[in-house]
Copies of this chain bind each other. A is one copy, B any other.
């Protein structure tokens, strides 16, 4: 393994100082066309490529952001991650991905800059194990953007959609279908379950607005928002003396699990039970039946998160924490309205 070409060698060959080469390589305009050409030629000739490690050390930044999600195999997160990586690359940033499995200690470590400094310049975090309190305690020097349904504490940005409104609209849709016994799957009445609680609030508000009464025993808790939880909760609901005729699920995975359980029992969706989900993942569109859902603008969430974290990285003094709301819309498919609409997704 022969030694790599260094900046200095390029400078030597081009007959200029290393400072000038650095300027050329980094596009700092202060160079004559003529010198630039000479330098470029030397770069070509020697096959020079900058050593990021040295640059990082000299600049005191890594040019990387960390994206931290609870579970990578959750379609919602992978779809989001995709957008984040694209947006970051455009800005010349690389993305370090980490998965926490919802482990609070792991999440806590990350908002304190990991176990070593400077590995990443900022973090985009989708918290699961940490509540508001714990999040507020993050290293104030670490540019942080939080995704999901937490509220900004002034020291970091928060990007998400209006969960209460979205949930209310989803529930109203079910009520407007003439359904009367609505279930909700996914409540989490404890500090780290803020996302879930906002959705439950929307669920209640919808009933209130439509003058319907909430069936408290049809609000089911689940530890996570995955398929297995959805299926389990649905089975539980079907075992009740008076099962629901519609279900608002706190994620599309939960909805898919619920539909799985319904089918298993020989029930039809939506004829016997209407189902609506949340997140608008691709699986939902192709499921049988295709699942109605709350569709957040994921692309915008991703680009906004990247934009904000880079802005924080670039700022000398940390900007105040902002609350950023992306738009959402209700996407109606067979799982609530039946085969009346065109069935072809996309």
Q: How far is the CA of A79 from the CA of B119 in the complex (A)?
A: 25
Contact flag A53-B56 (CB < 8 Å), given A85-B98, A228-B346, A264-B344: yes
State whether B53 touches A141 (Cβ < 8 A). no
A53/B49 in contact, CB under 8 A = no
Contacts of A286 in B (CB 8 A): 227, 231, 256-257, 260
- Closest 7 interchain pairs by CB? A78-B78, A288-B288, A72-B82, A53-B57, A97-B97, A53-B56, A52-B116
Interface positions of A (Cβ within 8 A of B): 1, 4, 49-57, 60, 62, 64, 71-73, 75, 78-79, 81-82, 85-86, 89, 94-99, 113, 115-119, 141, 227-228, 231, 256-257, 259-260, 263-264, 282-283, 286-288, 290, 343-346
Can you list 22 A-B pairs, Cβ within 8 angstroms, ordered by A?
A4-B117, A49-B113, A49-B116, A50-B117, A51-B117, A53-B53, A53-B56, A53-B60, A72-B85, A73-B79, A78-B78, A85-B97, A85-B98, A85-B99, A94-B96, A95-B97, A97-B97, A227-B286, A256-B283, A264-B343, A287-B287, A288-B288
Enumerate chain B residues within 8 angstroms of A257, measured Cβ to Cβ: 286
B residues within 8 A CB of A60? 53
Provide the bound-state CA to CA distance between A308 and B282, in Å: 33
- Cβ of A8 to closest chain B Cβ, rounded Å: 15
How far does the alpha carbon of A119 sit from the alpha carbon of B119 in the complex, in Å?
Answer: 12
Quickly give the copy total for this chain: 2
Cα distance, A86 to B72, chains bound together (Å):
11
Contacts of A86 in B (CB 8 A): 99
Cα of A264 to Cα of B343 in the assembled complex, Å = 7
**Chain B residues whose C-beta falls within 8 Å of the C-beta of A113 in the assembled complex:** 49
Of B75, B89, B99, B231, which contacts A73 at CB under 8 A?
Answer: B75
Q: Is the CB of A119 within 8 A of B52?
A: yes
Most chain-B Cβ atoms within 10 A of its Cβ — which of A50, A141, A227, A286?
A: A286
- Which B-chain residue is minimally distant from A343 (CB atoms)? B264
- Chain B residues positioned under 8 Å from A345 (CB to CB): 260
Q: What are the residues of chain B within 8 A of A1 when measuring CB–CB?
A: 141
Q: Which residues of B contact A115 (CB under 8 A)?
A: 49
Q: Shortest distance in angstroms between A257's beta carbon and chain B's nearest beta carbon? A: 6
